[in-house]
């Protein structure tokens, strides 16, 4: 499988989106030496420098990547709430695929859902704890918004973000979407 990628600077760190030409297959935080320096700023406003963009050859052969970059920029500029991109979760179980698809289709920007509510909405019959595990396996965070899944009594966990800043990343994304559950203030 041939893939192309591009990195977008955001207020939660640089994100690299990866496409196989048919779908977005991954989104991950771009870890640099600067990002792992615990003494320096980690989560800041997006920088003013230009985002790396796909090369002309990649752009010509991978319109999905170009659209993914455009939608990520629109999301982080506050002009887009939900993504409309083809995604491929890769080699995951049918249950995990169903839960992630339910999340992407039924939990819009500005809202949250508990692990238990998502388990029920998915119709898979799995317990809330299993949903937490599936969220941790999500290969396409933000686009498939696992940050919108919270615990019944708090923020819950989050495996996205730069190392050591995972829950801060989740909180910032929910604040950005004006979706931080009231009891968490």
What are the catalytic residues?
146
Strand ranges of the sheet holding 24-29, from the earlier edge strand across to the other edge = 4-8, 15-19, 24-29
Name the token pair of 55: 């090369």
Q: Which residues contact 33 (CB under 8 A, 6 or more apart)?
A: none
The residues near 152 (Cβ < 8 Å, ≥ 6 apart) are: 114, 115, 116, 128
């Amino acid at each position: 499988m041939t893939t192309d990628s591009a990195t977008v600077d955001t207020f939660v760190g640089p994100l690299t989106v990866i496409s196989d030409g048919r779908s977005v297959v991954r989104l991950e935080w771009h870890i640099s030496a600067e990002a792992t320096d615990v003494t320096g700023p980690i989560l800041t406003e997006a920088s003013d420098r230009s985002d790396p963009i796909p090369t002309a050859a990649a752009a010509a052969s991978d319109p999905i990547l170009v659209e993914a970059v455009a939608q990520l920029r629109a999301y982080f500029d506050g002009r887009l709430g939900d993504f409309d991109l083809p995604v491929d979760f890769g080699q995951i179980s049918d249950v995990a695929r169903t839960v992630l698809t339910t999340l992407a289709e039924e939990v819009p920007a500005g809202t949250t859902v508990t692990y238990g509510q998502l388990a029920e909405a998915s119709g898979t019959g799995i317990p809330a704890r299993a949903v937490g595990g599936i969220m941790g396996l999500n290969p396409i965070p933000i686009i498939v918004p696992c940050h919108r899944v919270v615990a019944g009594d708090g923020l819950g966990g989050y495996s996205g973000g730069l190392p050591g800043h995972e829950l801060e990343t989740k909180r910032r994304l929910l604040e950005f979407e004006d979706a931080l559950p009231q009891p968490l203030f």
